[in-house]
């Protein structure tokens, strides 16, 4: 039975990121003193001045570097206080109807905006990660539990809410930061060009703030992702940094070429990259987003809550014992409720929509039925009052996952990548790919510039800029981008799911912001606690091969291995007794008795502040014991130890799921999440790039990477050839080619490409005599230049008669006669036919046919007469020389005889 109370609604929020803060700000600005909001966030800490702040690099926290695109229709539903404060430092329009802003800027601004409500007591910040041992969950002293804690949501697991996967894809994130005072050649592309290059293909995506700080996202096929992850794990294990400019340590390979070519395409100097991140994109959603929870109340709590109608009483069948329960709601928002593909750029927008919708649904459930503008907190909140939120999230999921994310998933890049590696090295194919890519870029430019809301109307993108983007990447990259489909913008466009359609709320109804005064309370400085999992796995009398493999994989994962140790394996007891602080530990037992003994032996460790004790068990340990016996045994001391039942016997385990803080699964990835592996499905701290390359603007003059910078080369007339020179330098040099000191002419016969290691290649098709000369490759950067020269000689081949006219030929009067000769040479020789009449005299009464592709020429007389008796001569010559003449005598016969030689 619900009751109206004077005390505020107590809302516990797990997660103080952008979604959790958006929810809290919206709720407190609508309900005011009628809501008490407690936010748990493990990435906060209290400094020496008693101020709660976000942990940074100094505290060992790697903050996210992504830049997000916030849609206008989402921001406009927030209080004007948030709208103005969110963009007070960065207010940049890159795409139509939206603004770009770094994630950390969103977090920092929202964190600042919530401070007035912290000072007046409406909001409380707890710098801890919510877990099973948190006081609010142990005591159950809250009314609403909100999971805004990301894709690996603790609240979702705590409530035993299943996730449904729609598909998996892989990507790589490259974070970069280009300083303001860089040399001219390092200046970034303007945002208009970034947009055109991004939307024309689906291999690379750049989202940046002011073109300088941003993220290059790269779609990968599975093999490329595996190669990247394997490489990064080696450096993470030994805490080493990457250096993309070190080709000895990071030689050419498919994945590193892909990363470097993406940087080249968007003209991002590699020395300003500071992190490379592997990304596994699991597009999935929670089966439900609202769940009713029941907490059993102990005797002490029963006395304090006896007058509270929010509790219910259940009497055992024997009537000997009565149990009281308190009812509350758990709700999911953001990535905890739904993971979307980041490519369409709607992840944070969806999370903020969910946050505002849930806050308005809570307000609606607490609004007086008599007076629409008055708030009455009636607890417990009813599950049925949140059906609108369930419906809103179902529509949002259909719009964002099916309408956007799956449009990307159903268009994989595997086929285009495979074809690019197969044909890109063929010059005709490369020319076709390059032409098509340039056409795609121009089509995208036209489509965007024709939009009335295009935010770059004053910035025109030229044909030369688009052509240069094609020229500065390798032939394989050209092929991949040419073959990759452009963004499915038409398929993804359409009606948006709007918060105001389901939960209307007027701006003037938001409450005013409290005045910031002196802090009313001072918090003691907090020590930064890195939570460690202590896992006890009860496998039963017999361990299956599958279970053994999973245990071995967990123990060998980075979260369970000390990188300072050698490759010698340690036993579980050695791990438990070692000083590997900060790493999770796993112990395996077979029986409940062994588990109880282990708990007694390690009771001191289990009481440590940074230890989270968890239990994994199978459903059936033997013929007599099940997971229910395990739950009762490990909770004998009254604690609610989290338990995961790893089984596929879903029907038999329903009785076990009635216990709080118990989940069951047969999915390996959910088990990994439970033990602390894959703590974030989409985002990974990745591997830092060596700061020595991006902390300074020092450049090194270009250098020719060859023993000598002058050489000679020859080519047969009419054949293809290529000249190549490799250059090095910090600040990557730009290479320009010259022929006989003049800029190289641009036509279809000359093709320039460049490889990732700095090799510039000039391909000359069907060499001509005019192509002979000195070719100079000049590499230039801001501190100097270097050049290399190749003298190219065009070789001609003297004509050679391969099929002669032969012996004298006799013909029959009135019949046709054919003479044939074949010759070769370079250039292709010309053949001239002559008929000699008398000494040094010629006639042109015969038909001359020029040399065909086989090097043969024929001369045919229409009809033999007495005048045809003569000597016929064939002269073969080209620009190189003339071959010896070939002659044949023909005699006339009046009788009908065959030709004879």
Q: Which of 186-190, 401-405, 408-412 has the highest mean pLDDT?
A: 186-190
Q: What is the pLDDT of residue 868?
A: 53
Q: Confidence band (pLDDT; 50, 70, 90) for 900? A: very low
Give the architecture (CATH level 2) of 9-162+287-299+323-402.
3-Layer(bba) Sandwich (3.50)
Residue-level pLDDT at 577: 34
Bond from prior residue into 380 cis (ω within 30 degrees of 0): yes
pLDDT at residue 505 greater than cutoff 80 = yes
Asked whether residue 823 carries a pLDDT value surpassing 80, the answer given is no
Separation of alpha carbons 239 and 581, rounded Å: 16
Element (H, E) at 233: helix 222-237
Burial (0-12, 13-18, 19+ Cβ within 10 Å), 360? buried
pLDDT confidence of residue 267: 94
Q: What is the DSSP letter of 230?
A: H
Q: Give the torsion sign (CA, 217, 222, 228, 234).
A: positive
Is the Cα torsion angle 32, 496, 194, 433 positive or negative in sign?
positive
Residue 448 has pLDDT above 70, yes or no: yes
More confident residue, 1 or 748: 748
Helices (H), 162-253: 191-199, 222-237
- Please report which confidence band the pLDDT of residue 896 belongs to, taking 50, 70 and 90 as the band edges: very low
pLDDT digits (tens, 9 = 90+) for 533-572: 899 999 998 888 899 999 998 888 877 765 444 333 333 3
Confidence of residue 852 (pLDDT cuts 50, 70, 90): very low
What mean pLDDT is predicted for residues 145-173?
Answer: 90
Class of CATH domain 534-564+582-675 = alpha beta
Query: Per mean pLDDT, which of 111-115, 152-156, 563-567, 673-677 is the most reliable?
Result: 111-115
pLDDT at 581: 42
Q: Is residue 798 predicted with pLDDT exceeding 90? A: no
> Mean per-residue pLDDT for 623-652?
87
Residue 287 and residue 163: Cα distance in Å, rounded? Answer: 6
| Residue with more model confidence, 266 or 693 | 266
pLDDT > 70 fraction of the chain, expressed in percent and rounded:
80
Task: Give the whole-angstrom CA distance, residue 450 versus residue 159.
Answer: 50
Comparing 3-12, 331-340, 464-473, the range with the smallest average pLDDT is: 3-12
Task: Check residue 650 and give its pLDDT.
Answer: 79
Q: What is the pLDDT of residues 100-133, one digit of tens each?
A: 999 999 999 999 999 999 999 999 999 998 987 7
| Least reliable range by pLDDT among 67-71, 311-315, 593-597 | 311-315
Q: Which of 85-99, 153-167, 313-327, 735-749 has the lowest mean pLDDT?
A: 313-327
Across 479-497, average pLDDT: 86
Q: Using the 8-state DSSP alphabet, how is residue 92 labeled?
A: B
The predicted pLDDT at position 881 comes to 53
Distance of CA 17 to the CA centre of its chain: 21
At 866, the pLDDT band (50, 70, 90 cuts) reads low
In degrees and rounded to multiples of 5, residue 272 shows phi and psi of -105, 5
pLDDT of residue 883: 55
pLDDT for 873 equals 59
Query: Please, what sign has the CA dihedral across residues 703, 704, 705, 708?
Result: negative
- Please write down the HEC assignment for all residues of 384-419: HHHHHHHHHHHHHHHHHHHHHHHHHHCCCCHHHHHH
The answer to whether 861 and 855 are in contact (CB under 8 A) is no
User: What whole-number distance in Å separates Cα of residue 881 and Cα of residue 191?
Assistant: 60
Report the C-alpha gap between 408 and 889 in whole angstroms: 77
| 245: confidence class by pLDDT, cuts 50, 70, 90 | confident
What's the sign of the alpha-carbon dihedral 515, 518, 521, 525? positive
The verdict on domain 797-887 having CATH code 2.60.40.10 is: yes
Query: Given this model, what pLDDT does residue 848 score?
Result: 43
Positive or negative torsion for Cα 282, 285, 287, 291: positive
Residues 359-386, mean pLDDT to the nearest whole number: 89
Q: Is the pLDDT of residue 416 over 90?
A: no
pLDDT above 70 for 304: no
Higher pLDDT, 253 or 84: 84
pLDDT at 40 over 80: yes
In this structure, are strands 273-286 and 687-688 parallel, antiparallel, or unpaired? antiparallel
Q: Rounded to two decimals, what is the model's pTM? A: 0.74
**Digit-coded pLDDT (tens) for 681-721:** 445 667 777 654 444 456 678 889 888 889 999 998 888 99
In the chain, % helix, strand, coil (3-state, to 5) comes to: 30, 30, 40
Give whole-number Cα distances, 157 to 162, 645, 674, in Å: 8, 12, 8
Higher pLDDT among residues 676 and 227, named by residue: 227
Q: Do domains 9-162+287-299+323-402 and 703-795 have the same CATH topology?
A: no
**Whether the Cβ atoms of residue 200 and residue 444 lie closer than 8 Å to each other:** yes
Beta partners for residue 67, in sequence order: 102
The residues, ordered by sequence, that sit 6+ positions from 468 with a Cβ below 8 Å of its Cβ are none
Q: What is the per-residue pLDDT for 836? A: 62
Superfamily of domain 703-795: Immunoglobulins (2.60.40.10)
Using 50, 70 and 90 to split pLDDT, how confident is the model at 315?
A: low
DSSP 301-317: HHHHTTT-TTEEEEE-T
Report the chain's mean pLDDT, rounded to a whole number: 82
Q: What is the mean pLDDT of residues 348-369?
A: 94
Asked whether the CA dihedral 436, 439, 444, 447 is positive or negative, the reply is negative
Mean pLDDT of 504-518: 85
Would you kindly state where each structural domain of the chain is located, as residue ranges?
A: 9-162+287-299+323-402, 167-283+405-483, 534-564+582-675, 703-795, 797-887
Q: What is the pLDDT of residue 630?
A: 94
Rg (CA), the chain: 39
């Amino acid at each position: 039975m619900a009751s109206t109370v004077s005390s505020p609604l107590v809302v516990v929020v797990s997660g103080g990121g952008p979604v959790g803060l958006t929810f809290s700000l919206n709720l407190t600005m609508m309900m005011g003193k009628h809501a008490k909001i407690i936010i748990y966030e493990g990435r906060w800490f209290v400094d020496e001045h008693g101020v709660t702040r976000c942990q940074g690099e100094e505290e060992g926290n790697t903050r996210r570097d992504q830049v997000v695109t916030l849609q206008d229709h989402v921001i406009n539903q927030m209080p004007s206080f948030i709208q103005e404060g969110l963009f007070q430092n960065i207010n940049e329009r890159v795409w139509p109807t939206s603004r770009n802003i770094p994630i950390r800027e969103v977090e920092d601004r929202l964190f600042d905006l919530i401070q007035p409500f912290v000072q007046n007591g409406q909001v409380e910040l707890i710098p801890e990660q919510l877990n099973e041992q948190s006081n609010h969950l142990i005591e159950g002293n809250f009314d609403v539990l909100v999971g805004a804690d990301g894709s690996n949501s603790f609240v979702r697991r705590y409530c035993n809410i299943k996730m449904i996967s729609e598909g998996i894809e892989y990507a790589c994130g490259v974070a970069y930061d280009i300083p303001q005072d860089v040399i001219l050649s390092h200046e970034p592309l303007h945002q208009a060009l970034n947009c055109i290059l991004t939307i024309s293909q689906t291999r690379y995506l750049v989202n940046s703030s002011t073109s300088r700080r941003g993220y290059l996202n790269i779609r990968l096929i599975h093999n490329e992702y595996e190669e990247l992850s394997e490489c990064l794990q080696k450096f993470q294990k030994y805490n080493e940094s990457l250096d993309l400019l070190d080709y000895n340590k990071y030689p050419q390979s498919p994945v590193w070429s892909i990363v470097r070519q993406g940087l080249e395409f968007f003209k991002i100097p590699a020395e300003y990259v500071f992190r490379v991140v592997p990304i596994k994109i699991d597009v999935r959603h929670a089966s439900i987003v609202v769940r009713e929870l029941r907490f059993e109340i102990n005797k002490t709590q029963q006395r304090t809550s006896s007058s509270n109608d929010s509790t219910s009483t259940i009497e055992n069948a024997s009537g000997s014992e009565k149990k009281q329960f308190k009812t509350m709601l758990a709700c999911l928002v953001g990535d905890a409720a739904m993971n979307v593909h980041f490519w369409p750029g709607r992840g944070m927008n969806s999370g903020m929509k969910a946050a505002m919708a849930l806050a308005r649904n809570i307000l609606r459930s607490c609004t007086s039925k008599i007076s629409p503008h008055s708030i009455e907190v009636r607890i417990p909140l009813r599950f049925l009052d949140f059906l609108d939120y369930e419906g809103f999230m179902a529509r949002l999921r259909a719009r964002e996952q099916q309408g956007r994310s799956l449009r990307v998933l159903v268009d994989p890049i595997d086929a285009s990548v495979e074809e690019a590696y197969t044909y890109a090295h063929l010059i005709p194919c490369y020319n076709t790919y390059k032409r098509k890519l340039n056409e795609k870029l121009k089509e995208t430019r036209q489509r965007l510039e024709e939009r009335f809301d295009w935010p770059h109307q004053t910035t025109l993108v030229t044909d030369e800029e688009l052509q240069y983007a094609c020229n500065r990447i390798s032939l394989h990259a050209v092929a991949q981008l040419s073959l990759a489909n452009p963004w499915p913008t038409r398929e993804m466009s359409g009606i948006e799911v709007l918060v105001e359609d389901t939960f209307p709320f007027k701006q003037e109804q938001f409450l005013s912001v409290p005045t910031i005064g002196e802090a009313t309370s001072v918090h003691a400085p907090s020590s930064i606690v890195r939570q460690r999992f202590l896992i006890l796995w009860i496998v039963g009398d017999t361990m299956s091969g599958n279970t053994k493999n999973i245990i071995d994989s967990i123990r060998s994962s980075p979260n369970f291995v000390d990188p300072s140790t050698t490759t010698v394996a340690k036993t579980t007891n050695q791990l438990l007794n070692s000083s590997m602080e900060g790493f999770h530990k796993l112990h395996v037992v077979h029986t409940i008795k062994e588990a109880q003994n282990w708990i007694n032996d390690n009771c001191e460790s289990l009481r440590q502040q940074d230890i989270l004790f968890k239990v994994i068990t199978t459903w059936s340990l033997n013929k007599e014991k099940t997971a229910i016996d395990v739950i009762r045994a490990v909770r004998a001391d009254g604690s609610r130890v989290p338990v995961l039942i790893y089984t596929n016997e879903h029907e038999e385990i329903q009785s076990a799921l009635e216990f709080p803080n118990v989940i069951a699964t047969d999915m390996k990835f959910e088990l990994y999440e439970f033990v602390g592996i894959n703590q974030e499905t989409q985002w990974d701290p990745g591997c830092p790039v060596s700061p020595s390359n991006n902390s300074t603007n020092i450049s090194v003059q270009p250098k020719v990477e060859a023993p000598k910078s002058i050489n000679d080369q020859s080519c047969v007339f009419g054949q293809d050839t290529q000249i190549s020179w490799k250059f090095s330098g910090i600040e990557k040099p730009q290479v320009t080619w010259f022929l006989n000191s003049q800029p190289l002419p641009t036509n279809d016969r000359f093709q320039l490409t460049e490889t990732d290691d700095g090799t510039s290649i000039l391909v000359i098709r069907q060499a001509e005599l005019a192509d002979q000369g000195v070719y100079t490759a000049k590499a230039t950067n801001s501190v100097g230049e270097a050049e290399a020269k190749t003298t190219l000689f065009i070789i001609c081949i003297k004509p050679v008669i391969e099929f002669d006219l032969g012996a004298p030929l006799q013909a029959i009067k009135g019949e046709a006669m054919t003479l044939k000769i074949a010759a070769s040479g370079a250039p292709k020789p010309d053949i001239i036919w002559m008929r000699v009449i008398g000494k040094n005299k010629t006639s042109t009464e015969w038909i001359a046919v020029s040399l065909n592709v086989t090097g043969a020429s024929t001369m045919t007389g229409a009809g033999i007469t007495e005048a045809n008796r003569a000597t016929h001569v064939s002269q073969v010559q080209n620009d190189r020389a003339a071959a010896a003449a070939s002659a044949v005598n023909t005699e006339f016969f009046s009788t009908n005889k065959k030709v004879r030689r």
